[in-house]
């Protein structure tokens, strides 16, 4: 167990370093060390995006179960768009060429998400 924890700590430190130095430029795909960092960073980002998507989905289900109102319908449309954006990001095989502008506005933090 101690060995597993040490391995997890090592991987976590590598992931943090990869996130601090993240680049998704097509020009840096030949360096194996950069590729490992890119993979770690992408996995960390995907985990975060999946968590945000789950929170948005739960909020969306909650709204759909409430009585229908114009305000709820507007919130449902907005959250549905945010969930679609998050899913598209997860489905991307690589983030090379993806810009903040191309991805659209970053979804607002749903209730319960820091």
pLDDT tier for residue 59 given thresholds of 50, 70 and 90: very high
How many domains, in total, are found in the chain? Answer: 1
User: Token digits for 14?
Assistant: 């590598």
The verdict on residue 30 lying in a domain is no
User: Token digits for 41?
Assistant: 């960073």
d(CA 50, CA 38): 18
The verdict on residue 6 lying in a domain is no
Residue 22 confidence (pLDDT): 76
Q: Is the pLDDT of residue 18 over 60?
A: yes
The verdict on residue 111 lying in a domain is no
d(CA 18, CA 95): 14
Residue 108's Cβ-count burial label (10 Å; 0-12, 13-18, 19+) is exposed
How many residues can be counted in the chain? 114
Q: Is the pLDDT of residue 29 over 60?
A: no
The verdict on residue 15 lying in a domain is no
The verdict on residue 7 lying in a domain is no
Domain that holds residue 84: 38-93
The verdict on residue 62 lying in a domain is yes
Global pTM value: 0.63
Residue 112 confidence (pLDDT): 46
């Amino acid at each position: 167990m101690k060995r597993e924890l040490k391995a997890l700590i090592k991987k976590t430190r590598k992931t943090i370093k990869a996130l601090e130095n993240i680049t998704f430029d097509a020009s840096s795909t030949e360096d194996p060390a950069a590729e490992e960092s890119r993979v770690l960073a992408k996995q960390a980002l995907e985990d975060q995006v999946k968590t945000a998507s789950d929170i948005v989905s739960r909020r969306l289900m909650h709204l759909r179960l409430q009585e229908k109102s114009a305000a709820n319908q507007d919130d449902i449309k907005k959250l549905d768009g945010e969930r679609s954006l998050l899913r598209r990001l997860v489905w991307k095989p690589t983030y090379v060429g993806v810009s903040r502008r191309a991805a659209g506005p970053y979804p607002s933090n749903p209730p319960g998400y820091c």
